[in-house]
Chain A
Amino acid sequence: GQSLEQPSEVTAVEGAIVQINCTYQTSGFYGLSWYQQHDGGAPTFLSYNALDGLEETGRFSSFLSRSDSYGYLLLQELQMKDSASYFCAVRRNTGKLIFGQGTTLQVKP
């Protein structure tokens, strides 16, 4: 079968760093994507890792370890506008994305 596990909720304060973990179990793994979705909005693409290591895009970084079937999204210098749901998604060799259930991040002042 296939599954993705990520925490359901994370809380952090403004200016802090937060890490959202994602573990996966799937056949035909090709890469790991991350998406952000604000309440009432559409998911938007954040980052993608096909190879092991860290990818940095501004305040956001994403990490992948294929041998551990594990990845994480790192958000630095948290801002109130970062309060949203974050989804990891496995890209399979068929081109399909399998999404996790999402992590709700609440940023407090």
Chain B
Amino acid sequence: DVKVTQSSRYLVKRTGEKVFLECVQDMDHENMFWYRQDPGLGLRLIYFSYDVKMKEKGDIPEGYSVSREKKERFSLILESASTNQTSMYLCASSSGQGPHEQYFGPGTRLTVT
């Protein structure tokens, strides 16, 4: 079974703090993704990566950056957290041949106060 884990289930941070969200997958998947999920808006893609050290912007990259130094790990960084970044953050991975079949982690509910 594919397992995608995220570093925290719940996180509370203050405005202006730098926030790191970590994601690890154990299936040697090439692709990794970061989404945020807000009520009524579905899942929106922040960043994705097709390979180590590669990253591409998704639909809402502003205020975020990512890092992929190892194939199994994909980090999302909020350089200076703001209240409008309060959300559920979901990490996902997929094989190179099957980007339509993504495996999701349990999510991190981030609250910025």
Q: Give the B-binding residues of A (Cβ under 8 A).
A: 8, 30-31, 33, 41-45, 48, 50, 87, 89, 91, 95-102
Contact = CB atoms under 8 A, between A and B. Distances in A.
Given A42-B106, A95-B50, A96-B58, A87 B43 contact: yes
Contacts of B67: none
Interface residues of B, number: 24
Interface in B55-113: 58-59, 90, 92, 99-107
Contacts of A100: 42
Contacts of B31: 95
A33 B107 contact: no
B4 to A, nearest CB: 8
Given A42-B90, A42-B104, A95 B42 contact: no
Interface string B35-46: 100001111110
Contact of B104 (A44, A98, A101): A44
Nearest to B98: A48
A101 B90 contact: no
B48 interface: yes
A48 to B, nearest CB: 5
Given A42-B104, A42-B106, A91 B90 contact: no
Given A87-B42, A101-B42, A45 B48 contact: no
A96 B47 CA distance: 10
